[in-house]
Amino acid sequence: MNASGTRVEQLVAAMTLREKLAQLTMLSPLPPGAPRQPDLEAELRAGLGSILNVVGRERIDALQRIARRESRLGVPCLFSLDVVHGHRTIFPVPLGEMCAFDPGLWEATAAAAAREARRDGIALTFAPMLDVCRDPRWGRIAEGPGEDPWLASLFARAKVRGFQGADPASPGGPDRLGATAKHFVAYGAVTGGRDYNTVDISERALRSVYLPPFRAAVEEGVAAIMPAFIDLSGEPMTGSRALLTGLLRETWNFDGVLVSDYNAVAELVAHGVASDIPEAAALALNAGVDIDMVANAYVDGLEEAIGRGLVTTATVDDAVRRVLRLKERLGLFDDEAVPVVDTASPPRALALEAATRSIVMTRNAKGALPLAMEGGPIAVIGPLASSREDMLGPWSALGDMRDAVDLVSALRATFPTRRVDYAPGSRLESSDEPALDAALELAGAAETVVLCLGEVRDMSGEGASRATPVVPAAQVDLAMQVLALGRPTVLVLCSGRPLVATELYARVDAMLVTWFLGSEAGTAIARVLAGEASPSGRLPVSWPAAVGQIPIHYAELPVGRPASATDRFTSRYIDAPVRPLFAFGHGLAYTSFAIDEVTPARPAIGPQDGVVVTVRVRNTGPNAGRTAVLLFVHDPVARVARPVLELRGVAAAELAPGASATLSFALTPADLLPLGAEPGARPEPGRIEILAGFSADPAELKTASVTVVPG
């Protein structure tokens, strides 16, 4: 046994049961006036293991000194915070950042956030959020990787590396955080898109869609995993021994910590699987949950649960060992809470790059964009154009709205010789007649109108499910009245999810999907509007044309009666299209690209062989630009039907006008199988289609094939 293991065993042997339960407990300051406000200093003297939502290095250092010097055994406290898309410098919400299709960027922003948070005394973040979601009614889609499990797995690996560093055995250090993969598992499939609701999906969907990103995080050495609030087919995740211990620990060999979501252990009673807190605590601990977040269920219930024979002290000890090992991995036993002065500059340049590359141009009729640097007045209309706070988005940690850049200010700085006027035109969700009149007057006198519409930050994220995820009616009415003036009009859409407003989108001259872009939101949008940067983002979700299409995604299974506009008795709607308004991967630039050829290195492979596929892409437009090429596979005849498209590769090219590049994709045998296939599985004999394009729109894809021959 090494020195680290000796210290853990000595501490476990020296602890009383109450001290052990304290180590398994995470507390948080509660809002003023809330019942049972914890006395954190007293709790630390009694051995409290973890604290959530305390911020500020001075305060954290003071509390850590109490844990290290005034508790009986001197065990350090684990301080944690939701550092989801930045700490002080805020990057785009994850769904927006996914639009870059670039793991290098995802890793870089996580590393920058980790550096800021660790210098503030935070050691553990509750990110990355890996919930694949195909239902934009669910507000938390903003926090996650979109609809594709392969891309989400790429995101998982990049974020874990960024937060923790390249060495999975040692995520500690002055510039790193322990990462927590959440929410295990299938939270993005909640019924009706309603937060905290039940989930009932097939075993095949669980294995091929929702589990792969978590498997990737485990393989990357993620420090912690958080079970989801939800139940899966009647079994709450917080109490699922089959998945938390059986799958995660025994099958995947996950050796980190499992931390419950906020109050989730106590909520096992509300789920109807425990009659009281001791039963709930025993159920969660037996399932494998090591840390009880804020419910006090372990300290209040486990001692009684042991007396009832519901759980053993050996199970308690195992959980304490895992918590102590995490603290060692994070270097907390070696950190004497000495204040750190961070002299590094805030990563604003990285925030601007991330924000710029997260913007998706979905429409640009007649070259309406970019705007000319010289010309007449620009009228900026819409209730979000001057809002700095909303640009930060949900879960923006310690981001300060005063440090954020709004669109109006950025446009005035970017177009110094053009007059930029601003009027909100309406409230967020209700009309305002005087504001409308002022906006129409400005728009009527303008050469160009920039409409800034969408959601405020509180309309996305946790607790923000929307039955009708649309642009609010008051804003649509404002836009239609502006459009009636006949001025060239650009729509800047801010949101944390796809929003349905198909008629509006068809009438504007150009449209930028900008999500919540963070600290440099306004500057990034202004740069793209001015043509200082060409938009290069691509949608990580299918964008519905009608609310009734939801849930919607590109990787559908084939059906016996594919949709036909001329045949009523096929899989279609009689009142709406089947296809999304914008396909997964859709995104325009200030130039155009074409794929000339898709070439597998060999026409036939064995079931244990991989194949290299090259794709030649060319810039066919007048300007330089960056594009991402997506590589899909399709097995048209399989024992079990496969989706019509499955993403298996992403590569980017930056090309001058007329230039071309050859991109290489190395497909392994696993890439030709469904995600989540059983270990040792091999591709079935037969033809495999390989398709390359810029989106999942079938009309845009170039196709080749390889044949798997019996081996």
Phi, psi of 482 (to 5 degrees): -65, -45
Residue 337's pLDDT is 46
Give pairs for 656-660: CB < 8 Å, separation 24+: 656/619, 656/624, 657/591, 657/619, 657/621, 657/622, 657/623, 657/624, 658/618, 658/619, 658/620, 659/618, 659/619, 660/596, 660/616, 660/617, 660/618, 660/619
Which parts of 241-356 are beta strand (E)? 257-258, 292-293
> Contact 487/509 with Cβ under 8 angstroms?
no
Confidence label for 547 from pLDDT (cuts 50, 70 and 90): very high
8-state DSSP, 252: S
Q: What is the pLDDT of residues 388-446, one digit of tens each?
A: 999 999 999 999 999 999 999 999 999 999 999 999 999 999 888 999 999 999 999 99
**DSSP letter for each residue of 181-209:** EEEETTGGG-GGG-TT--B---HHHIIII
* 3-class secondary structure, 237: helix
Say whether pLDDT at 675 is over 80.
yes
Q: Strands 702-708 and 604-605, how do they pair?
A: parallel
- Residue 170 confidence (pLDDT) above 80: no
What are the backbone dihedrals phi and psi of residue 282, each rounded to the nearest 5 degrees, phi first? -65, -40
Give the angle subtended at the CA of 137 by the CAs of 132 and 141, to the nearest 5°.
35
pLDDT at 339: 45
Dmax over CA atoms of the chain, in Å, equals 80
Question: What are the structural domains of the chain?
Answer: 355-544 (3.40.50.1700), 593-708 (2.60.40.10)
On whether the CB atoms of residues 633 and 679 are closer than 8 A, the answer is no
Question: Is the C-alpha dihedral spanning 383, 389, 391, 393 positive or negative?
Answer: negative
Looking at residue 557, what is its pLDDT? 96
Q: Single out the residue of 270, 197, 283 nearest to residue 241, CA to CA.
A: 283
Rg of the chain over Cα atoms, rounded to whole angstroms, equals 26
What does the pLDDT read at residue 340?
A: 53
Q: Would you call 254 helix, strand, or coil by DSSP?
A: coil
First to last CA, the chain: 46
Report yes or no: 215 and 154 within 8 Å, Cβ to Cβ.
no
Q: Does the pLDDT of residue 645 top 90, yes or no?
A: yes
| pLDDT at 466 exceeding the cut of 70 | yes
- pLDDT category at 297 given cuts 50, 70, 90 is very high
pLDDT of the residue at 169: 56
Helix, strand, coil shares of the chain, percent, nearest 5, are 35, 20, 45
Return mean pLDDT, the chain. Answer: 95
Both tokens assigned to 4: 């680290």
Asked if 143 contacts 188 with a C-beta cutoff of 8 angstroms, the reply is no
The answer to whether residue 515 scores a pLDDT higher than 50 is yes
pLDDT tens digit string along 338-374?
A: 445 555 678 999 999 999 999 999 999 989 999 999 9
In this structure, the number of other CB atoms found within 10 A of the CB of residue 45 comes to 15
pLDDT of residue 586 exceeding 60: yes
CA distance 16 to 161: 37
Mapped onto helix, strand or coil, the DSSP state of residue 213 is helix
**681-685 long-range Cβ contacts below 8 angstroms, 24+ apart:** 682/607, 682/608, 682/711, 683/607, 683/635, 683/708, 684/607, 684/635, 684/638, 684/639, 684/708, 685/607, 685/709, 685/710
Instruction: Give the model's pLDDT for residue 342.
Output: 57
Contact 142, 95 (CB under 8 A): yes
pLDDT at residue 511 above 70? Answer: yes
Reported pTM: 0.97
Q: Which residue has the tokens 């250092």?
A: 61
310-to-270, 279, 307, 525 alpha-carbon distances in Å:
19, 7, 8, 57
Burial of 433 (0-12, 13-18, 19+ CB in 10 A): exposed
| Beta-bridge mates of residue 708 | 605, 686
3-state class of 3 per DSSP? helix
Using an 8 Å Cβ cutoff, are 157 and 130 in contact?
no
DSSP state of 677: P
Starting at the edge strand found earlier in the chain, the sheet holding 660-667 runs: 593-600, 611-619, 660-667
The total of other beta-carbon atoms located within 10 Å of residue 613's CB is 23
Task: Report residue 57 as tokens.
Answer: 């290095």
Name the H helices within 128-261.
Answer: 149-164, 203-205, 212-219, 241
Specify the pLDDT at position 432: 87
Please tell me the number of Cα atoms within 13 Å of 346 on its side-chain side. 16
What count of other Cβ atoms lies within 10 Å of the Cβ of residue 506?
11
Concerning whether 261 is annotated as a catalytic residue, the answer is yes
**Cα–chain-centroid distance for residue 273?**
30
Sequence-ordered list of residues with C-beta below 8 angstroms from that of 437, at least 6 positions apart, any chain: none
Provide mean pLDDT across the span 651-665: 98
Determine the angle formed by the axes of helices 277-287 and 313-329, rounding to 10 degrees.
60
**Closest alpha carbon to 425 in 406, 404, 448, 450:** 450
> What residues contact 355, with CB distance under 8 A and at least 6 apart?
91, 92, 517, 518, 519, 520, 521, 523, 524, 525
Q: Is the pLDDT of residue 335 over 90?
A: no
In 58-197, beta strands by DSSP E: 78-81, 124-125, 180-184
Handedness of CA 325, 55, 187, 572 (dihedral sign): negative
pLDDT over 70 (residue 173)? no
Catalytic residue (one of 135, 261, 421, 509): 261
pLDDT at 535 over 60: yes
For 177-211, b where at least 16 C-beta lie within 10 A, e where not — what string?
bbbbbbbbbbbbbbeebebbbbbeeeeeebbbbbb
